[in-house]
Structure 1
Amino acid sequence: MGGPGIAIVTGAGRGLGHATALALAERGYRVVAAARSAEAGEAAVGLIEDAGGEALALHLDVSDPRSISEGCAGLLPAIAEKWAGSTIDVLVNNAGVGQFAPLHEVSAADFDLTFAVNVRGLLLLIQALAPHLSDGARIVNVSSSLSRHVSPATAVYAASKAAIEALSRSLAVELGPRGIRINTIAPGPTATDFNGGAMRDDAELRHGLGQQTALGRVGEPSEIADAVVALVSPGMRWVTGERIEVSGGVLL
């Protein structure tokens, strides 16, 4: 089949997922761009193909268990037809939501949605795809620097990211006998469209958060994507169950 293999990126329609899908394609991966919006997934595929890469779109809502099971069932025949492939080599669980509110404003619905997308959806997707991962496959789960340091009104979001890290360590042991590596990337302040694009569009906010980092600025999506690419590379083959923070040294 050639190339380094097949990679799936969730939340590939925008932000860090979009940047990661493009970065993997640039390195020769055949990329499945999974997105809740079918249009966003197709747009990502178009950009990858325009740049000379290979990709296909997957309409996937990780908050919905049925969408996960049906999406995975349809994905495998699509991979076989397009690329004559039967296994997946890289899975990047990037899809996520942020519900930010102080304690007195947190609702049960906020909590349930955050954990349904950020934790349950991630777990169910790994479960559904595990039989189809190649031996030696790599899984990268996207956490946050907020699992290490505190910030007002982020309790539920930070808790969901800490849960991802604990889940990743456990699954690293469970899937380790197959040579499958599972790690988490924990981005710091990054100029994306996450949370309404506040950090990307608000120069004052970027400046303030940048001053909290050792490198004096917020990150760019491509810098997080490059870290993911590095983590799934052969040079990191002895790294699993780890949390790698990519934050420019925020709040050290």
Structure 2
Amino acid sequence: MGALEGKVALVTGGSRGIGRAIAERFGRAGAVVGVGFARNQAAVDEVVARIRKDGGRAFPVQAELGRRGAAAELWAGFDAEVERHAGRGGVDVIVNNAAIGRSSDLESLTEDEFDELFAVNVRAPFFIVQQGLGRLRDGGRIVNVSSGAARLALPDIMAYGSTKGALDTFTLNLAKQLGPRGITVNSVAPGIVDTDTNAGWLRGNPEAEAYAASLSALGRVGQPEDIAGVVAFLASDDARWMTGRVVDVTGGAGL
């Protein structure tokens, strides 16, 4: 029996990168997984098919999270499918992973880019949780995917780092508010991870790969599965006494 057997999970941004690795890890651990995505139907279909091929259960849930009303749209899509796949409604684990992964520097950032960053990275998780509380079972889990950029001075992407700092504050307050229900809330903070977001400057560039690896005490570039393993732990019963924490998953960057 898997560590998440009988659980129902929603993973936003689950069609690629870290979100995909989390969704697939949850599926192997026995959870029924709602895989959130915005536009790429082919990508989410591939993830769902992979989970099912491995013996798991999953279904896609579409919503473009930068828009007002997107949280309600996401939950409506989830509600329409979950009972058919899980045999019951409600959710046990919410993973807020969907995000815009970079930002312009201070001199170049526009107000529109700033607003979009905070809409996707901060407002969307806030209202997904707000509107999910009636669905989230007591003893459940919320995991927010933050970033090492929230604790490191990285002026070139300070707006992005600011959104993740806000997400960590959200985590802290949620943990306090939801503790009486036995719900734990934690953040994970990755460093540089080999995903599509970083592919343009990282993959196939030996100098960039060497630089990224040098930032980690472990001497390599992070992989999506490195993050997914920690998220799976936080979603499991083994993490029942851990809440309100930001878990560094940068491979020891900045030590």
TM-score, L = length of structure 2: 0.94
The structure 1 residue matched to 2:236, chosen from 216, 233, 238, is 233
**Is the contact between residue 193 and residue 200 of structure 1 (CA under 8 Å) also seen in structure 2?**
no
Are 2:152 and 1:149 aligned? Answer: yes
Q: CA RMSD in A?
A: 1.5
2-side partners of 1:109 and 1:237: how far apart? 40
Q: Equivalent residues in 2 for 1:186-225 (5 A)?
A: 186-225=189-228
The superposition leaves residues 216-237 of structure 1 with CA deviations (integer Å, 9 ceiling, x where unpaired) of 1111110100010011121111
Q: What is the match of residue 68 of structure 1?
A: 71
SS for the counterpart of 1:134 is strand
2-side partners of 1:27 and 1:198: how far apart? 33
**Is the contact between residue 193 and residue 199 of structure 1 (CA under 8 Å) also seen in structure 2?**
no
SS for the counterpart of 1:85 is coil
2-side partners of 1:181 and 1:86: how far apart? 20
1-side partners of 2:232 and 2:205: how far apart? 28
Task: Choose 91-100 or 161-170, whichever is displaced more.
Answer: 91-100
Q: What is the match of residue 23 of structure 2?
A: 21
2-side partners of 1:78 and 1:215: how far apart? 41
The structure 1 residue matched to 2:60, chosen from 57, 69, 72, is 57
Question: How far is 1:201 from its partner?
Answer: 4.2
Q: What is the match of residue 251 of structure 1?
A: 254
Letter in 2 for 1:44: V
2-side partners of 1:174 and 1:8: how far apart? 21
Letter in 1 for 2:201: A
**Is the contact between residue 62 and residue 125 of structure 1 (CA under 8 Å) also seen in structure 2?**
no
Are 2:132 and 1:129 aligned? Answer: yes
2-side partners of 1:99 and 1:232: how far apart? 26
Ranges in structure 2 where 5+ consecutive residues have no aligned partner: none
Letter in 2 for 1:148: R
Q: What is the match of residue 108 of structure 1?
A: 111
SS for the counterpart of 1:112 is helix
**Is the contact between residue 192 and residue 200 of structure 1 (CA under 8 Å) also seen in structure 2?**
no
The structure 2 residue matched to 1:82, chosen from 76, 81, 85, is 85
Question: How far is 1:197 from its partner?
Answer: 4.3
**Is the contact between residue 183 and residue 243 of structure 1 (CA under 8 Å) also seen in structure 2?**
yes
2-side partners of 1:232 and 1:65: how far apart? 28
Question: How far is 1:195 from its partner?
Answer: 4.2
The superposition leaves residues 149-195 of structure 1 with CA deviations (integer Å, 9 ceiling, x where unpaired) of 12231110000000000011111111111111110000011111114
User: Alignment identity in percent?
Assistant: 36
Q: What is the match of residue 117 of structure 1?
A: 120
Letter in 2 for 1:169: L
Task: Choose 239-248 or 45-54, whichever is displaced more.
Answer: 45-54
The superposition leaves residues 95-125 of structure 1 with CA deviations (integer Å, 9 ceiling, x where unpaired) of 0003422211111011101000000001011
SS for the counterpart of 2:162 is helix
The structure 1 residue matched to 2:161, chosen from 154, 158, 182, is 158
What is the aligned length? 251
The superposition leaves residues 41-95 of structure 1 with CA deviations (integer Å, 9 ceiling, x where unpaired) of 2221111112221100001211123232123123213211222112211111000
1-side partners of 2:57 and 2:205: how far apart? 34
Ranges in structure 1 where 5+ consecutive residues have no aligned partner: none
1-side partners of 2:184 and 2:61: how far apart? 24
Are 2:43 and 1:43 aligned? Answer: no
2-side partners of 1:250 and 1:187: how far apart? 9
Q: Structure 1 13/89 Cα, relative in aligned 2: closer, same or farther at 3 Å?
A: same
2-side partners of 1:195 and 1:116: how far apart? 21
Question: How far is 1:196 from its partner?
Answer: 4.9
Task: Choose 20-29 or 74-83, whichever is displaced more.
Answer: 74-83
